[in-house]
Amino acid sequence: MNYGLTEQQEMIRDLCRQVAQEKMKPIREHYDEANEFPHEILKVFAQADLCGIYIEEKYGGLGGGVMDLSIAVEELSKVCSGIALSLAATALGTFPIILYGNDEQKQKYLPRVASGQSLAAFALTEANAGSDAGAIATTATKDGDDYILNGTKQWITNGGEAEIYSVVTKTDKSKGSRGASVFIVEKGMPGFTFGKKENKMGIRASATRELVFQDCRVPKANILGKEGLGFIVAMKTFDMSRPGVAAQALGIAAGALDEAVKYSRERRQFGKPICSFQGVQFMLADMATQVEAARALVYAAARYIDTGAKDVSKISAMCKLFASDTAMRVTTDAVQVLGGYGYMKEYPVEKMMRDAKITQIYEGTNQIQREVIALNLIKEAASRKA
Residues recognised as catalytic = 363
| Complete DSSP assignment for 298-310 | HHHHHHHHHTT-S
Q: Which residues pair with 164 in a beta bridge?
A: 120, 186
Query: Is the Cβ–Cβ distance between 320 and 370 less than 8 Å?
Result: no
CATH topology for 121-230 is Butyryl-CoA Dehydrogenase, subunit A; domain 2 (2.40.110)
3-state DSSP percent of the chain in helix, strand and coil, to 5: 60, 15, 25
What integer pLDDT is reported at residue 386 of this predicted model?
Answer: 59
| 68 half-sphere exposure, CB direction, 13 A CA radius | 22
Query: Is the Cβ–Cβ distance between 96 and 241 less than 8 Å?
Result: no
Which one-letter amino acid corresponds to residue 363?
A: E
Who contacts 102 (Cβ-Cβ below 8 Å, separation ≥6)?
none
Q: What is the dihedral of CA 186, 187, 188, 189, to 10 degrees?
A: 40
What integer pLDDT is reported at residue 2 of this predicted model?
Answer: 81
Query: Is the Cβ–Cβ distance between 356 and 85 less than 8 Å?
Result: no
Looking at domain 236-385, which of 3.10.20.30, 1.20.140.10, 1.10.1060.10, 3.40.605.10 is its CATH number? 1.20.140.10
The structure's pTM equals 0.96
What integer pLDDT is reported at residue 374 of this predicted model?
Answer: 98
Distance between CA atoms of residues 247 and 280, nearest Å = 26
What integer pLDDT is reported at residue 380 of this predicted model?
Answer: 93
CATH topology for 7-118 is Butyryl-Coa Dehydrogenase, subunit A; domain 1 (1.10.540)
pLDDT digits (tens, 9 = 90+) for 111-161: 999 999 999 999 999 999 888 888 899 999 999 999 999 999 999 999 999
pLDDT digits (tens, 9 = 90+) for 269-325: 999 999 999 999 999 999 999 999 999 999 999 999 999 999 999 999 999 999 999
Distance between CA atoms of residues 54 and 95, nearest Å = 9
Distance between CA atoms of residues 212 and 196, nearest Å = 10
Q: List the chain residues with pLDDT less than 50.
A: none
Query: Is the Cβ–Cβ distance between 207 and 34 less than 8 Å?
Result: no
What integer pLDDT is reported at residue 328 of this predicted model?
Answer: 98
What integer pLDDT is reported at residue 218 of this predicted model?
Answer: 98
208-219/146-157 β-pairing? antiparallel
List the domain boundaries for the chain: 7-118, 121-230, 236-385
